[in-house]
Chains A and B, each alone.
Chain A
Amino acid sequence: IAGITQAPTSQILAAGRRMTLRCTQDMRHNAMYWYRQDLGLGLRLIHYSNTAGTTGKGEVPDGYSVSRANTDDFPLTLASAVPSQTSVYFCASSEGGGAGEQFFGPGTRLTVL
């Protein structure tokens, strides 16, 4: 692994189903982030974690949850997916608790039908 990986690359999901998007980084960065990117709206922060064991809400947290059990992993869970959660999801990380630039994973394209 080099940098940040996300899984799956893409997913089609029925409304009401539970889904976890995975994110793993090997750069030992303290801070990690989840964004969604929608056409015309840019990247919007869903949840973040400044260090393992802590999480915080971003601009659009409703319907999503995260956990940060260790430094490397930061999964994003949709408890009961809805069509409005159709989007491209990017995970990012940065060093120094967020002081450095953010490095982005390749993204997960999620479609909720």
Chain B
Amino acid sequence: GQNIDQPTEMTATEGAIVQINCTYQTSGFNGLFWYQQHAGEAPTFLSYNVLDGLEEKGRFSSFLSRSKGYSYLLLKELQMKDSASYLCAVRDADYKLSFGAGTTVTVRA
């Protein structure tokens, strides 16, 4: 199985940078995903890492270290619309996802 930990809440100021950490223990690793979920809505895909290193997509970047069981999602130039929950999910060898409980990010003006 998977054990996935991420902080419950984070607060940041508009225009700032926030880093959301995710640590995991897994019995079979086949990739790590980050999803964004606004209140009352469905999760939407943000990023995917399967190899070590940094993946950049506009204002969002995601990093993976498989040896350390560690990933982070970096949100730059924060905007009010970035206020949401961010879900870390680990995929196993059978392509099933296990999700962390999510990190609620609040962006303040």
Q: Is the CB of B101 within 8 A of A41?
A: yes
State whether the Cβ of A98 lies closer than 8 Å to any Cβ in chain B.
yes
Q: Is the CB of A43 within 8 A of B42?
A: no
> For the complex, what is the distance from the CA of A59 to the CA of B92, rounded to whole Å?
13
A-B contact count (CB 8 A): 48
Residue ID in chain B nearest A98 by CB atoms: B95
* A: number of interface residues (CB 8 Å): 25
Contacts of B43 in A (CB 8 A): 43, 90, 104
Q: A104 touches which one: B1, B42, B98 (CB < 8 A)?
A: B42
Q: Is the CB of A40 within 8 A of B96?
A: no
> For the complex, what is the distance from the CA of A50 to the CA of B100, rounded to whole Å?
22
The 7 closest A-B pairs by CB, nearest first: A98-B95, A104-B42, A42-B101, A43-B99, A42-B99, A101-B45, A104-B43
Task: Please report B residues at the A interface, Cβ cutoff 8 Å.
Answer: 1, 33, 41-45, 48, 87, 89, 94-102
Task: Please report A residues at the B interface, Cβ cutoff 8 Å.
Answer: 31, 33, 35, 40-45, 48, 50, 58-59, 90, 94, 97-99, 101-107
